[in-house]
Amino acid sequence: MKILGIESSCDECAAAVVEDGKQVLSNIVATQIPFHARYNGVVPEIASRMHTEWIYSVVEEALNTANLGPADIEGVAATAQPGLLGSLLVGLNFAKAFAWARQIPFIAVDHMLAHLYASQLTDVEVSYPFLGLLASGGHSIICRVDAFDMVSVLGTTIDDAVGEAFDKVSKHYGFGYPGGAVIDKLAKNGDDSAFDFPLPSLHKGQHRYDVSYSGLKTAVINQLEQFRRKGTTASDTETANIAASFQKTAVEILLRALFRAVKDTGLTSIVAGGGVAANSYLRSRLAECRELRCIFPPLNLCGDNGAMIAGLGYQYLARGDKSPLNVVVSARVKAFKRPYR
């Protein structure tokens, strides 16, 4: 079954064709980064307008790359939540119209569940249950995954998401945009022990698997000198040192909560997803854990893309699920539960 997947939750206008939930026939992503870089963040109005201008040509390119026509598509999947409402509406409504015109099944999917599915668009076999690590600009989630649509949240952020912290630190110091990629690159030439930034004190009761980034953000932006390692001074590598020290602490905050979940659940398979899953320090730290099986999507499937939407959509459609054409978008995650509280 060939599924067209459409993703427009934020600032990437993306479409892809995936066959049988596994084989990626095309994966087109039109990035809006140049339009938002001057603002050091995504401007919702600009994002939705660009989606409106681009969506037709992006879908057309996805079909052409797959050497298919509209008549060859057997189902359509699109992101319905979470994300920017204006952006979501463009992709979802285009998908509805495509499905209606072709009289083929349509399914609305959750963006975060799709990020968890992204690793399955490879030759790597992913077996349930596993622990999921979702890290992006909008979300930091540690969860137990028992099936493609059975996810239980163990922990999440109580304030900023990890990707948001990267962007805010990068904006303050003028590193560039998007912050995650820029800081990761700068950190490669820095000393990650130059600053001893603090970990949040979340270790009791219901916050055992939760994370927090507001304190780290404040320390890096407003209290830098308090955490400089003794005996060091500002140098030509100051920028790289700040980036490396911040990145190390940001990742360790995630891993501290994740390793607690590993210990408590006994699950040793971890599947990562989201834009921050592309971070080189996070990947290297988990690669050091020989007792764990850590699975990451390819770098081109870490960020927002249509292939993960089409792949997840196939699983629903193959089971016989369909969405009504009056389904609406939502800015927030609605599918996840917290039974482990």
Q: Return the structure tokens found at 236.
A: 């030509």
When comparing pLDDT for 146 and 208, which is higher? 146
**HSE (side-chain half, CA atoms, 13 Å) at 243:** 26
Question: Is 247 in contact with 284 (CB distance < 8 Å)?
Answer: no
Q: Which region among 172-181, 202-211, 235-244 has the lowest average model confidence (pLDDT)?
A: 202-211
Distance CA 80, CA 206 (A): 29
Residue 231's pLDDT band, with cuts at 50, 70 and 90, is confident
pTM: 0.93
Cα distance between residue 183 and residue 223, in whole Å? 19
pLDDT at 338 over 50: no
Residue 106 burial (CB < 10 Å; 0-12/13-18/19+)? buried
Q: List, for residues 271-285, the tens digit of each pLDDT value.
A: 999 999 999 999 999
Average pLDDT over residues 117-132: 94
DSSP string, 207-268: GTT-B--HHHHHHHHH-GGGGBPTT----TTHHHHHHHHHHHHHHHHHHHHHHHHHHHH---
Mean pLDDT value of segment 173-195: 95
Give residue-wise pLDDT tens across range 130-144: 999 999 888 899 999
pLDDT at position 46, please?
A: 95
Q: Given a cut of 70, is residue 340 above it in pLDDT?
A: no
Closest alpha carbon to 146 in 122, 169, 128: 128
Report helix, strand or coil for 144: strand
Reply yes or no on whether the pLDDT at 47 is more than 50.
Answer: yes
Name the nearest CA neighbour of 62 among 72, 49, 50. Answer: 72
3-state secondary structure of 76: strand
Distance of alpha carbon 256 from alpha carbon 205, whole angstroms:
15
Q: What is the mean pLDDT of the chain?
A: 93
In contact, 213 and 253? CB cutoff 8 Å: yes
pLDDT of residue 233: 73
- pLDDT band at residue 14 using 50, 70 and 90 as cut-offs: very high
* Cα–Cα distances in angstroms (integers) from residue 116 to residues 45, 142, 144, 150, 152, in the given order: 28, 11, 11, 11, 12
Number of alpha carbons in the 13 Å side-chain half-sphere of residue 183:
32
In the chain the domains, ranked by start, together with CATH numbers, are 2-117+302-319 (3.30.420.40), 127-296 (3.30.420.40)
